Amino acid sequence: MRDDQVDGPELTARLAKTWGTDKGLIGTLSTVDHKIIGRRFIVTAIIFLFLGGLSAVAMRMQLALPENRLIGPDLYNQLFTMHGTTMMFLFGVPIGEAFAVYLVPLMVGTRNIAFPRLNAYSYYVYLFGGLMIWVAFMLNIGPDVGWFAYVPLSGPEFSPGKRADFWAQMITFTEVSGIAVAISVIVTVFKLRAPGMTLDRIPLFVWAELVNSFVIIFALPAVVTASATLMMDRLVGTHFFNPAEGGDALLYQHLFWFFGHPEVYIIFLPATGWVSAIVVTFARRQAFGYIALVLSLIATGFLSFGLWVHHMFTTGLPQLGASFFTASSMLIAIPNGIQIFCWIATLWDGRPVFRTPLLFIIGFFFIFVAGGLSGIMLASVPLDTQVHDTFFVVAHFHYVLIGGNVFPLIAAVYYWFPKFTGRMMSERLGKWHFWLAFIGFNVTFFPMHITGLMGMPRRVYTYLPEMGWANLNLVSSIGAVLFFGSFVLFLYNIVSSARRGPLAGANPWEAGTLEWATASPPMPQNFDRIPVVTNREPLWANRDSLPVVAGLSVENREQIVSTITHGRADLRETSPEPSIWPFMAAIATTILFVGSMFTPWALVWGSIPLAVALMGWFWPKPSMEDER
């Protein structure tokens, strides 16, 4: 039966049964619904955000007073490493992909993400990798070599035991997950768009996630190479980074930072999509400079690969090379500045409605621009040489990363919470949250610019009172408590609103993009009939009803495959059914990865259960049409 042969509640019920998830534990673990997987990604990433925040507060309590004995040096090194590792690898990168998993299929008007089983597998691998490293920390064998794990400190000579191995293998977990999600997002955007969604009608959020996915695919193999070669040096006696045997310690830094600086933009690019969506909705007008915004996203992604050496200005590289990377570091400010001006122009020429999501976006403008200005300062080799490895750098990248990701993330949660849950968050608590977070953040990190200029180095667990850093450190620690308190208020708002917040309705913000064209929360099938797109903001262009296409199966999980450039309906494709095998494959992958930290034979024996799981995953199953 086709969807043009049935209508109304019967169509909705039949499609919900076809695209739904079975009840029970097996059904829960087998689901391939992008919305369920996306929610799991988002919740897990936010849990890791809180864990990373707790470790930061613990460090600030230690640094609040000179010669403090609250935390010893070994635990402090583990906290420092777990904070950076969690925020960068378990929160910063996954949270952008998490929103993509949930929202991109809805925004492009399709019923599920491309390769839904790969998407489910990616979540489980990410979860197991994060659990592995945090369990190691709870057992006092957490990594203690920094989130970057520089050699030779992380090598076999200076880091015996398994602490650095847990860090290196966690990298493998998260990067396998990240690349898998990126592939699914790219194919979804290029081939599963609703009819009529040409390239110049793709929402800016989707453009941001598309560019981000390409950056992930090109950047993450570098850090996987770095972590894999580090593990080989530690476990099987290779000498990639041992100068005494012909290796090169700087090779590790090049591999790491070739990923590490694009990672800053892997964290920032999804945030630009959140900002664009929220600014357009609350300005009540289409984005100013749509083409300029899209080209700026692409330019940012491209230029991000030409900046990595500005993390290495003090390593004795040739001055000509340093000059090139200075210029590149300043050049990337141009596309970022274009985006800022386009967003401001959109608000200036619109009729802004100042709700909580927009308040956090305005806070993002102030904080991110301040961080960008200090970044331009650090692009100067003489200044960078003076403040390298001081708290000035700590202040800079927290202004960039928290201002450029966390503030937009909070805005995104307030904005799309009605879509996730069907309920609204409290505006009163939201405004309290904003001011507490904005004040707490600046009280925490602005004084670090000064302590850095006064010479306070990073990664020290205590300091002498004669250094003159005590008062500013105390202020920063008080600010950290305020800032963390704002997240406690945020969590309370989420939990209380999910239980008893006002019902939202389908489109509470009167937004124009397709995710608001269906119920909140969405049905398993997303749309009863696939919409036809005639405008960048289709719900504003068709306020009464959207044009739709019909002819898809009601009993099978059929989707429309469209052409890449013009978004024309090309053919119908069946989306894979739920399966327990991606979960089993993730367990087998975990056994292989964890076992390989102890013996190379784990790669041999661990590949057997993984191969069995993959055979079950891809074993051909006849469709209903085949059985006819």
Quick one: pLDDT at residue 626?
Answer: 45
Is 417 within the bounds of a domain?
yes
Task: For residue 169, give both structure tokens.
Answer: 């293998």
Examine the pLDDT at 13 and tell me if it is beyond 70.
yes
Other CB atoms within 10 A of residue 232 CB: 16
Report how far residue 438's alpha carbon sits from residue 435's, in angstroms, rounded to the nearest whole number.
5
> Which residue, 50, 124, 3, 117, is CA-closest to 575?
117
Is 43 within the bounds of a domain?
no
Q: What is the mean pLDDT of the segment spanning 252-261?
A: 94
- For 66, left (φ over 0), alpha (ψ -120 to 50), or beta? beta
Residue where the block lists tokens 């920390």: 137
Is 386 within the bounds of a domain?
yes
Q: Which domain does 377 fall in, by range?
A: 351-505
What proportion of the chain, given as a percentage, has pLDDT over 90?
Answer: 87
Quick one: pLDDT at residue 351?
Answer: 92
* Contact (CB, 8 A) for 78 and 137: yes
Examine the pLDDT at 435 and tell me if it is beyond 50.
yes
Is 404 within the bounds of a domain?
yes
Taking all residues of the chain, what is their mean pLDDT, rounded to a whole number?
A: 93
pLDDT in tens, 488-529: 999 999 999 999 999 998 899 999 999 999 999 999 999 999
Examine the pLDDT at 627 and tell me if it is beyond 80.
no
Q: What is the mean pLDDT of the segment spanning 29-41?
A: 97
Examine the pLDDT at 625 and tell me if it is beyond 50.
no
Look at 487 and 322; give whichever has higher pLDDT.
487
Q: Please, which residues bridge with residue 559 across strands?
A: 573
Task: For residue 290, give both structure tokens.
Answer: 């749509």
pLDDT in tens, 130-157: 999 999 999 999 999 999 999 999 999 9
pLDDT in tens, 47-57: 999 999 999 99
Report how far residue 49's alpha carbon sits from residue 92's, in angstroms, rounded to the nearest whole number.
8
User: Residues 6 or more apart from 226 whose CB is under 8 A from it?
Assistant: 171, 252, 255, 256, 259
Q: What is the mean pLDDT of the segment spanning 320-339?
A: 89
What are the distances in angstroms from CA 506 to CA 259, 315, 509, 515? 40, 56, 9, 9
324: pLDDT confidence band, cut at 50, 70 and 90? confident
Quick one: pLDDT at residue 525?
Answer: 94
Backbone phi, then psi, for 561, in 5-degree steps?
-100, 125
Q: Please, which residues bridge with residue 571 across strands?
A: 561
pLDDT in tens, 379-388: 889 999 999 9
DSSP state of 90: I
Examine the pLDDT at 624 and tell me if it is beyond 80.
no
Q: What is the mean pLDDT of the segment spanning 298-322?
A: 89
Burial 130-159 (b: 16+ CB within 10 A, else e): bebbbebbeeeebbbbbbbbebbebbbeeb
Number of independent structural domains in the chain: 1
Is 255 within the bounds of a domain?
no
- For 225, left (φ over 0), alpha (ψ -120 to 50), or beta? alpha
Is 451 within the bounds of a domain?
yes
Helices 356-378 and 333-348, interaxial angle, to 10°? 150
Is 378 within the bounds of a domain?
yes
Q: What is the mean pLDDT of the segment spanning 173-193?
A: 96
Task: For residue 378, give both structure tokens.
Answer: 């650090």
Instruction: Give the pTM.
Output: 0.95
6: pLDDT confidence band, cut at 50, 70 and 90? confident
Quick one: pLDDT at residue 623?
Answer: 55
Look at 415 and 551; give whichever has higher pLDDT.
415
CA-only gyration radius of the chain, Å: 25
Q: What is the mean pLDDT of the segment spanning 551-568?
A: 92
Other CB atoms within 10 A of residue 224 CB: 19
- For 422, left (φ over 0), alpha (ψ -120 to 50), or beta? left
Is 613 within the bounds of a domain?
no
pLDDT in tens, 333-358: 999 999 999 999 999 999 999 999 99
* Contact (CB, 8 A) for 154 and 67: no
